[in-house]
Amino acid sequence: MIDLTAAPIAESVPRLLQWGSELTPTLGGVTQRLDRLGSRHAIDVQMPPMRVEAEGRRWIARLLRAKQEGGRIAFPQVEFEPGPCGRPTVATAAKSGRTIEITGATPRYALREGQWLSVTHAGRSYLYCATEQVVLDGSGAGSIPVDVLLRSPLSVGDAVELAQPVIEGWLSGDGYEWTLERSRTVGLSFTIAERA
């Protein structure tokens, strides 16, 4: 997994990749929602123009490696300051659901609705969005409702990142290309889609 967290971002487009669907009866009854495991996130990233030599050259090499090995980038939370949040970890093992039990955060920390977090289990990070505001208790513990079903079992002690969550996965698409301008600048863009 190639660390791209230092990548400068000029523009980004996050999105939800969803495998659920709506079941609509053929004779007009009530529509039902069918949730399936595997819904996850992706992000399109446009880096600012940069000189080919030497910054652009280095980022081209990193992205070429990430295309083959996967990449990890900091998930942008524009104008959002998470504040001091401690070192939270998963408090209770879980195999499924839409809630993550945490402990070890700053006491009385207010996790805001729409705040992003990532959980690292077995060396892989998974991105989630908190769907409600949660004020943790005096020991920094609480339950966080999240936007998609858990995609991996969680173990007690798995790291939870509230300050700078990451999205990691494959750079999508069959090829990888970049633009070279006459002004000796390079335009780099890529998409990371979570693996699971």
pLDDT tens digits, one per residue of 100-120: 999 999 999 999 999 999 999
> What residues does 132 pair with on adjacent strands?
none
Look up residue 122 and give its two tokens: 């077995």
> What residues does 139 pair with on adjacent strands?
none
Q: How confident is the model at residue 170 (pLDDT cuts 50, 70, 90)?
A: very high
pLDDT tens digits, one per residue of 149-169: 999 999 999 999 999 999 999
Give the DSSP letter string of 44-112: EEEPPPEEIIIIIHHHHHHHHHHHHH-EEEEPP-TT------EEEEE-S-BSSSSEEEEEEE-TT-EEP
Distances (CA, A) of 101 to 23, 92, 109, 185: 32, 6, 14, 47
Q: Which domains are seen in the chain, by residue range?
A: 2-75+168-194 (no CATH), 86-164 (2.40.30)
